[in-house]
Amino acid sequence: MDHHVKDMGLVKKGRQRIEWAETEMPVLQRIRARFGAERPLKDVRIAACLHVTTETAGLMRTLAAAGAQVRLCASNPLSTQDDVAAALVEEQISVFAIKGEDRDTYYRHIHQALDLKPHFTMDDGADLVSTIHAERTDLLADIVAGTEETTTGVIRLRAMARDGALRYPIIAINDAKTKHLFDNRYGTGQSTIDGLLRATNLLLAGKTFVVCGYGSCGRGLALRARGMGAQVVVTEVSPLHALEAVMEGYAVMPMAEAAKFGDLFITVTGNRSVLRREHFEVMKDGAVLANSGHFNVEIDIPALRDMTASSREVREFVQEYRLADGRRLYLLAEGRLLNLAAAEGHPAAVMDMSFANQALSLEYLARQGKELTPNVYSVPVDIDQAVARLKLEAMDVHVDELTAEQRKYLQSWEEGT
Ligand SMILES: NC(=O)c1ccc[n+]([C@@H]2O[C@H](COP(=O)([O-])OP(=O)(O)OC[C@H]3O[C@@H](n4cnc5c(N)ncnc54)[C@H](O)[C@@H]3O)[C@@H](O)[C@H]2O)c1
């Protein structure tokens, strides 16, 4: 079986860590048990470009149990957990991913995953879709549909659909409520703090912590930073999101202001050059810069390098940039997703829901994908609700049911005061 991973000697460690993560993924386990019996993805070929983590391993094993043949490559050069990659290969799942791989290797791995001639693609950032549309259009004949995990990928795909460039249908997993309200918020919130602490071991209490972007991820990050005792400042471009941040009690201001007194800056906007030269110019000596948005473009690193007199690694994942005027700025994890580069990504309990949406959406696409025209679709509402129901069941949380009288009341328009 074709594969390219760092070290097959890491199998045991990977297997143990996957086992640990799966104890927190009861929804996916239930789906796997059903898939094992029903085999809804029998003889289906899937190319997946996802962060190669213990949770993704849980998803890959679920797809394999459903009868699918899967090839997995990384969706970020720094997010691969090499022990997990090895453990999956041991289970006969083809993986092409090595933590720290260079750009050429990253794209070679994407092509190797695509060499499977997939019926379905699973993306986290739309790299498979982009590569297929730009360089591998020969594969389109076999492809039925795909899924996309993250906000940035969905934005790219919607732009392609708008321009009439998208050649096959995609389900936007991120749109599911059981995805972005939990994974982006509680997952990114906690794991970004985790990455920050592992990389720096800084005390957050009393620090001015600037959250750039108050969307699904920014809300979680601001919440957790405040919980650690930091004074949280939010920067935004959306009036609505800025207003929400104000009403949550955060200080809201333009980056030009925040740049002057922030101790820590974390971008989660999905946009580019959110921190740039004009901001670096006024930052305090010792300011720490990091990103948890999908691509490493949110901090203008070329501009930072351009202003730098000397640079050195002071800890793993911490690069010091000494500017010409003597101030030092610290960039974490090369500006790549901090939570995945310096920590382990989202905790399994939230990925349980995101990947349950992935697994059920693939089952849906295997059944009905051929009927869809090329466009970006939301996760069917019944899948979203099923995931919420299963998660509650697994947590042994019970909720009320509507009475017949209440159901009737909610559906009627005649009853008034
Ligand atoms: N690290 C992870 O594990 C992880 C997980 C989920 C999503 N993501 C990524 O994080 C990014 C954000 O995702 P999201 O779901 O929060 O998106 P979102 O669209 O909900 O929020 C982004 C916010 O950033 C704001 N914004 C845009 N440009 C800005 C600017 N120049 N300055 C300040 N604010 C700006 C937007 O108005 C919006 O409120 C995306 O790239 C997404 O793919 C990462």
Tens digits of per-residue pLDDT, 172-183? 999 999 999 999
Q: How far is the CA of 184 from the centre of ligand 1 (A)?
A: 9
Residue 300 in this model has a pLDDT that exceeds 90: yes
Q: How far is the CA of 179 from the centre of ligand 1 (A)?
A: 14
| Confidence at residue 384, expressed as pLDDT on a 0 to 100 scale | 98
Task: Give the mean pLDDT of 15-35.
Answer: 97
Atom of ligand 1 nearest to the CA of 241: 39
Beta-ladder partners of 319: 313, 331
At 238, list the tokens. 């959306």
Beta-ladder partners of 63: none
Query: Are residues 212 and 268 in contact, defined by beta-carbon separation less than 8 angstroms?
Result: yes
Q: Which residues contact 45 (CB under 8 A, 6 or more apart)?
A: 68, 69, 70, 116, 117, 118, 119, 120, 142
Q: How far is the CA of 269 from the centre of ligand 1 (A)?
A: 3
Query: Are residues 284 and 229 in contact, defined by beta-carbon separation less than 8 angstroms?
Result: no
Residue 278 in this model has a pLDDT that exceeds 90: yes
**Residue type, position 189, single letter:** G
Residue 383 in this model has a pLDDT that exceeds 90: yes
Query: Are residues 360 and 176 in contact, defined by beta-carbon separation less than 8 angstroms?
Result: no
Residue 415 in this model has a pLDDT that exceeds 80: no
Length of the chain: 417
Question: Helix 82-90 and helix 11-22: axis angle, to 10°?
Answer: 90
The chain-wide mean pLDDT, for the chain, equals 97
| Cα–Cα separations (whole angstroms), residue 22 to 29, 56, 223, 403 | 8, 10, 27, 36
What is residue 27's three-state secondary structure?
A: helix
At 416, is the pLDDT very low, low, confident or very high (cuts 50, 70, 90)?
A: confident
Q: How far is the CA of 159 from the centre of ligand 1 (A)?
A: 16
Query: Are residues 78 and 14 in contact, defined by beta-carbon separation less than 8 angstroms?
Result: no
Alpha carbons 291 and 386: distance in angstroms, whole number: 33
Alpha carbons 127 and 125: distance in angstroms, whole number: 6
Residue 382 in this model has a pLDDT that exceeds 90: yes
Alpha carbons 195 and 33: distance in angstroms, whole number: 33
Q: What is the pLDDT of residues 264-274, one digit of tens each?
A: 999 999 999 99
Residue 205 in this model has a pLDDT that exceeds 90: yes
**Residue 272 in contact with ligand 1 by CB distance below 6 A:** no
**Residue 273 in contact with ligand 1 by CB distance below 6 A:** no
| Confidence at residue 338, expressed as pLDDT on a 0 to 100 scale | 96
| Confidence at residue 417, expressed as pLDDT on a 0 to 100 scale | 67
Atom of ligand 1 nearest to the CA of 298: 31
In this predicted model, which residue has the larger pLDDT, 396 or 417? 396
Q: What is the pLDDT of residues 93-134, one digit of tens each?
A: 999 999 999 999 999 999 999 999 999 999 999 999 999 999
Q: How far is the CA of 214 from the centre of ligand 1 (A)?
A: 7
Residue 347 in this model has a pLDDT that exceeds 90: yes
Q: What is the pLDDT of residues 328-340, one digit of tens each?
A: 999 999 999 999 9
Mutate to test the pocket of ligand 1, among 151, 236, 278, 344 (most ligand atoms within 8 A of CB): 151
Q: How far is the CA of 89 from the centre of ligand 1 (A)?
A: 33
At 1, is the pLDDT very low, low, confident or very high (cuts 50, 70, 90)?
A: confident
Q: Percentage of the chain with pLDDT > 90?
A: 98
Atom of ligand 1 nearest to the CA of 293: 10
**Residue type, position 163, single letter:** D
**Residue 158 in contact with ligand 1 by CB distance below 6 A:** no
Task: Give the mean pLDDT of 143-153.
Answer: 97
Alpha carbons 310 and 115: distance in angstroms, whole number: 43
Closest Cα to residue 8, out of 122, 85, 64, 71?
Answer: 85
